[in-house]
Amino acid sequence: MQAEFMIKVANKFQVPTITFSATSPLLKSIDNPYFVRATIDDSFQVEAIAAIVKSFGWRSVVAIYVNNEIGKEIMHSLSDALEDVEVQRSAISQEASDDQILKELYKLKTEQTRAFVINMDASLGFRVLKKAREIGMMEEGYVWLLSNGMTHMMRDNGRSLETMQGLLGVRSYVPQSKEREDFSLRWKRKLEKENRTGDGTEPNVFALRAYDSVTALAMAVEKTNTKTYMKTYGSHLIEALSDIEFKGLAGEFKLINRQLESSTFEIINVVGDEERIVGSWTPSSGPVNAKSNKTTLFLGKRFGPVIWPGNSTVVPKGWEIPTTGKKIKVGVPVKKGFINYVEIKTDPISTVTTTTGYAIDIFEAALKKLPYSVIPQYYGYESPENNYNHLVQQLYEGKWDAVVGDITITANRSLYVDFTLPYSESGVSMVVPLRDSKNKNAWVFLQPWSLDLWVTTVCFFVVIGFVVWLLEHRVNTDFRGPPHHQIGTSFWFSFSTMNFAHREKVVSNLARFVVVVWCFVVLVLTQSYTANLTSFLTVQRLQPSATNVEDLIRNGESVGYQHGTFVRDFLRNLNFSETQLKPFASAEECDDLLSKGTWKGGIAAAFDEVAYLKDIVSHNCSKYAMVEPSFKTVGFEPSFKTAGFGFAFPKNSPMTKDVSIAILNVTQGKEMRRIENKWFNRVTSECPDPNSDLSSNRLSLSSFWGLFLIAGVASFLALLVFVALFLYEHRHTLCSNSEGSIWRKLKSLFRIFDEKDTRSHTFKSNAVHNVSSPITPCTPSPSNVQIRPLPRSMSLNREFEIRRACFSMSEERFRTQPKHDKQGESDIEFGAERQREVKQTQ
């Protein structure tokens, strides 16, 4: 009031007025051209106070201030700085008696908040602190934070710090200097001369700023021409004063818009008879730890070790609920459907109201896990059109302390209230009828294997057939003959191993090795195919009637949504027309609509949150299935995610965090299963899972690449050994100079490979068998006479007789056959040669 009066006088007479103590934000020097504020505006300190509150994570504080315009103004600044913190206000009159102060403090003691910010005149403020100590509000769990003015005046008038143990305070930084020490010494001497040593031994910050103000004024007067016309002298003096800069007793003196520039604030902690500096705050760096001189982002670590009221080192939570049990008003929705979530019943005789349901049980289970006692009192509210936005609005307006039920957490609602962590599954999905798709897919036999596995298997059948043909061609008559016969035999042999129906004998050891390995691979493949095909035929019997949203829209199918929920707007955003949307109020009504179908006035699918749809499917799992909606259009993938159901509390309510932690303990424990079985009785083991993607159950190449690797390595090794032996056996052909070029040598090798290997044991065993026949060693045929090899144990005379008989037969056929017969000529030549050998031996 004094400053405001002096400003009016200064403006009228154009005389500069300097204040060193008027800190009110209401006094804006920019609006008063002759008013100079040589001290710090109180609005500058609120940023420092807000930094302390946020650093320790206090979500709610009580601001105690003087009930006048000056006190109210700083409260506006503090509320703006603490935008994420709930600021409660407590105004105390400047003329308040001790009884009035106690009455207000007792009122505050019954509230939850235990963090207090006090900003008022020092004489009144320290009276409040004294009474707070008397009624036990300076004990462990409480927080007291003093403003700049009160912190600077702690020791004035011989005031003891005993009543302020554990308090925090902010105060403008006053640097130590030689000039300040000299001034303090002169101050003490002056007080001693005047016998006023009890008034204080150190000058406070306002005394230092008063000295600096007089110094600045003297310097400005020296710069101003005193002969200037009186009416303009004031304006010249203001200009000179604005340009004054020097290092004063209270720090740097520099005016910006005729106001002292904001400085650093110290954070002090009262411990014993000491004002311990635990940190500092600057507009540029924010809070800084006094011990490390570094800014850290971890809550509660920005300052040095703090001793709190009650000599405690544990950071207070900033709020408490009495252990005797605090009753809270809880709003619950009055529902017509899905009453297993929340239901309110009123006894018509006793008029006693009872509230039950899945959400109520979870909420009460969470309250039991809190470290304090909370007694909920439920109040029903019937929202217009079943829209829960009205219910949340009632909480925002302060009608209740909490809202419990199947309340969906949305971004819009979170602007007005705080939600706990969700206690239900999140997301929007759809329920569709199941249809029998048994034997409706003619190509189902191809689905057990993926395309890459089919292609690889067929390729290996071809490769194995080729490898066996290479190994058996020279030694096995089954793999000889015309080219088309050899190709057909190779493919037949390879693919017939699929059901082990191959009839051709394999005589080469290398080929037998390859076939044994391949038969093992085929056995594993066929058994896996059979098992997977069986599962496909079983699972495919029941499939959802629709999974694609675009098909529903294009075909004009009707879809349902729960009445009053946000799902209606969600469907409209998906381009469903208004005529396609049909509301339902309960699970029974949804069942009825789905049973009818679109063409009988029902719906083809029902859209809702997952929690509701699971409730519907759990009672009708043989009729309906919950599926994830899909879209064919590439790039068009709307979000079907929601945050789930949660409990709502007022903004910045301290219970939100504790109840969220308690919900986690409930949902992760055995109690959650008991609650679910009580209200939903879900038996999912008997229900098919239509969400399973059949294509994901296909066997792929990645499951069998090891088997194919084994078969490939076995075939390669067999081929490698066969080629090595073949080249070694016919090395004279490669090394011979008579063959000419390499190309001719290779042609010779290919010709040899295509010929029958007469030296193979397979052909020798056949000859032995034929000679030992009791009929005759000479087997005539319509075209020739075959002379077979004879056993070595046969006597020469006997052999000679047999050869002569065969020779005679061949000679006779040669003479009587009109055409040239090479086989006969060879037989005659062979017989003659053998006859000469016998004679020589005899």
DSSP H or E segment with residue 289: strand 286-289
| Closest listed residue to residue 231, CA positions, set 34, 38, 6 | 34
Residue 464 is predicted with a pLDDT of: 87
pLDDT tens, residue by residue, 610-667: 888 888 887 787 788 888 877 655 444 555 678 889 999 998 787 888 899 999 999 8
Residue 296 is predicted with a pLDDT of: 40
Question: Which has more pLDDT, 468 or 1?
Answer: 468
Determine the straight-line distance between the first and last CA of the chain, rounded to whole angstroms: 158
**Cα dist. 760→178, 470, 764 in Å?**
118, 15, 7
pLDDT tier for residue 364 given thresholds of 50, 70 and 90: very high
Q: SS3 for 609?
A: strand
Question: Which has more pLDDT, 669 or 199?
Answer: 669
Q: How far apart are CA 791 and CA 771, in angstroms?
A: 7
Residues 91/67, Cβ–Cβ less than 8 Å:
yes
| Percent of the chain topping pLDDT 90 | 17
Residues 611/645, Cβ–Cβ less than 8 Å:
yes
pLDDT tens, residue by residue, 662-718: 999 998 888 888 898 888 865 444 555 554 554 556 788 888 899 999 999 999 998
Residue 767 is predicted with a pLDDT of: 47
pLDDT tier for residue 736 given thresholds of 50, 70 and 90: low
Write the CB contacts of 323 (distance below 8 Å, at least 6 apart in sequence). 372, 373
Q: Tell whether the model's pLDDT for residue 288 goes beyond 90.
A: no
pLDDT tier for residue 199 given thresholds of 50, 70 and 90: low
Residue 24 is predicted with a pLDDT of: 81
pLDDT tens, residue by residue, 616-630: 887 787 788 888 877
Q: How far apart are CA 470 and CA 208, in angstroms?
A: 110
Q: Burial of 298 by CB count in 10 Å (0-12 exposed, 13-18 middle, 19+ buried)?
A: exposed
pLDDT tens, residue by residue, 95-145: 899 989 998 998 888 788 899 999 888 888 889 999 999 888 989 889 999
pLDDT tens, residue by residue, 144-166: 999 988 888 887 766 777 778 89
* DSSP conformation class of 337: S
Other C-beta atoms within 10 Å of 104: how many?
18
**Cα dist. 226→35, 152, 221, 463 in Å?**
20, 38, 8, 115
Token pair 């007694």 is at which residue? 375
Average pLDDT (249-261) is: 87
Residue 421 is predicted with a pLDDT of: 92
Residue 770 is predicted with a pLDDT of: 46
Average pLDDT (281-290) is: 74
CA angle 420/423/427 to nearest 5° reads 105
Q: Tell whether the model's pLDDT for residue 245 goes beyond 50.
A: yes
| Closest listed residue to residue 10, CA positions, set 39, 42, 35, 46 | 35
| Lowest mean pLDDT, pick from 448-457, 491-500, 802-811 | 802-811
CA count, 13 A, side-chain hemisphere, 132: 28
Average pLDDT (201-225) is: 88
Q: Tell whether the model's pLDDT for residue 402 goes beyond 90.
A: yes
Residues 396/586, Cβ–Cβ less than 8 Å:
no
Average pLDDT (246-262) is: 87
pLDDT tier for residue 295 given thresholds of 50, 70 and 90: very low
Residue 766 is predicted with a pLDDT of: 52
Q: How far apart are CA 146 and CA 159, in angstroms?
A: 16
pLDDT tier for residue 363 given thresholds of 50, 70 and 90: very high
| Closest listed residue to residue 151, CA positions, set 80, 69, 48, 246 | 48
Question: Which has more pLDDT, 795 or 483?
Answer: 483
Other C-beta atoms within 10 Å of 730: how many?
16
Q: Tell whether the model's pLDDT for residue 480 goes beyond 80.
A: no
* Backbone φ and ψ of 306, nearest 5°: -115, 135
Mean of the per-residue pLDDT values of the chain: 79
Average pLDDT (162-176) is: 88
CA count, 13 A, side-chain hemisphere, 602: 16
The encoded tokens of residue 726 equal 């073949």
What is 121-140 written as a DSSP string? Answer: -HHHHHHHHHHHHHTTTTST
pLDDT tier for residue 447 given thresholds of 50, 70 and 90: confident
Q: Tell whether the model's pLDDT for residue 420 goes beyond 90.
A: yes
Residues 89/63, Cβ–Cβ less than 8 Å:
yes
Q: Tell whether the model's pLDDT for residue 783 goes beyond 50.
A: no
pTM: 0.49
Q: How far apart are CA 82 and CA 55, in angstroms?
A: 12
